[in-house]
Structure 1
Amino acid sequence: MATDQHLTEHTTAREELLKGHVLHVVRDTVRLPDGASATREYVLHPGAVAIVPLLDDGRIVLERQYRHPTRQVHVEIPAGKLDAGEGALACGQRELLEETGYVAREWAYAFTMYPTVAYSDEAIEIWFARGLEHRGARLDEGEFLDVIAATPEEFLGWVREGKVNDAKTLASALWIQNVLAGTWKLDWQAPPDQP
């Protein structure tokens, strides 16, 4: 069986460049596969969870949120950063309730994506949620967003038209399309507890 040793870099040193409230930037010195040295600057990230919430009528719960780095409002699936020691499902439950006001009766893990592999180690787990019950949003201080719902056809139309350009939401569109068509199956489970 083939290995990836001919491609793998090995870290020999690390320098911290910035440690902020959200960003932690480091510069690693690495030994390349040919024995030479190089540096790699990137962002360390604790990980995140994003949710595809499906209403009983088939619509998808989405958010419209202003993102300062791009200076625009984006249509996104709900998501949030993992807290220290928090599991992915617990994070998904917390973020779904905080941002949209919904809790879900069933959850299914879909996939993990790495949105910016060239300059961050961030991994986002994507989960589907169904059997939604609205209990009221609990937004974080300083967080402002609109919760909307779209049919799968509307949502996929927005993707095609370029109205959806957030990476995690675009990656999820492929899964939404295949799950709803019955082509890809999910392993639905009831969580042990709700937030």
Structure 2
Amino acid sequence: MKLEEKTISSKQVFDGCLLKIYKDEVLLPDGNTATREYNKHHGAVCVVPLTKDNEVLMVKQYRYPLRQVMLEIPAGKLEKGETPLENCKRELKEETGADGYSYMTLGSYVGLCAYSDEIVHMYMCRVDGCGEQHLDDDEFLNVEKIPFDKVVEMVLNNQIIDGKTQVAILKAKYLLDSGKI
């Protein structure tokens, strides 16, 4: 059975700073029609920054939609004119003050494919430590150094529930343990 849906019409119903919400009418594989609502997003990056002592630079920040403080790896949305790697380096520097080196891609992550086309480009790198943060005016976060194995344990114990962080940490763990990097 064919699974693809064909767009009949598309209308932007909300145009915000972050969210660009569309409502489309689609032709289903069986010939019927349906409505699809989704967010068009220009993408994001995240990075697992490891110190020489195998600590991860993590950030704690309040996430309004969940109404709670979340522990995550440094991340941010893609900016026009930057490659994902350039964006990643900039976000790491802004959020932690760290300069990374020996960057390695961990692939891509799509976390909300039912209603968003956002793709998160994941990286890992080495860092020598933190420096001065250069946060956006509306950005407030704390940096914590946590031993890598402790972060893995926190992911597995559901103490870290952010999806991009979970995937990137577990991929980095596998690659390090298997000697692939």
TM above 0.5, one fold?
A: yes
Task: Tell me, yes or no, if the aligned pair for 2:48 and 2:169 is still in contact at 8 Å.
Answer: no
Letter of the 1:163 counterpart: Q
The CA distance in 2 between the partners of 1:65 and 1:135, in whole Å, is 18
Q: In structure 2, which of residues 16, 21, 24 is the aligned counterpart of residue 20 of structure 1?
A: 16
Is the alpha carbon distance of 1:175 and 1:59 closer, same or farther for their aligned partners in structure 2, counting shifts above 3 Å?
Answer: same
TM-score w.r.t. the length of structure 2 is 0.94
Instruction: Tell me how many residue pairs correspond in the alignment.
Output: 181
How many percent of aligned residue pairs carry the same amino acid? 37
**Runs of 4 or more off by more than 6 Å in structure 1?**
none
1:95 paired to 2:60: no
* Distance in 1 between residues matched to 2:178 and 2:79, nearest whole Å: 34
Tell me the equivalent position of 1:40: 36
Q: Does 1:162 align with 2:158?
A: yes
Paired residue for 2:56? 60
Q: 1:178 aligns with which of 161, 169, 174?
A: 174
- Give 1:133 deviation, angstroms: 5.2
Write the deviation string for residues 40-82 of structure 1: whole angstroms up to 9, x where unpaired. Answer: 0011101000001011111111111110110100110000000
Question: Match of 1:110?
Answer: 106
* Cα distance in structure 2, aligned partners of 1:173 and 1:129: 12
What SS does the aligned partner of 2:57 have? strand
Unpaired runs of at least 5, structure 1: 187-195
Rounded Cα–Cα distance in structure 2 between residues aligned with 1:131 and 1:84: 26
The runs of 5 or more residues in structure 2 that have no matched partner are none
Per-residue deviation, residues 70-122 of structure 1 (Å, max 9, x unmatched): 01001100000001232101100110000010111221111101111111001
Is the Cα–Cα contact under 8 Å of residues 104 and 133 in structure 1 kept in the other structure?
A: no
Tell me how far apart the structure 1 counterparts of residues 29 and 82 of structure 2 sit (CA, whole Å): 35
CA distance in 1, matches of 2:87, 2:33: 38
TM-score where L is the length of structure 1: 0.88
Give the 3-state SS of the residue equivalent to 2:31 in structure 1: coil
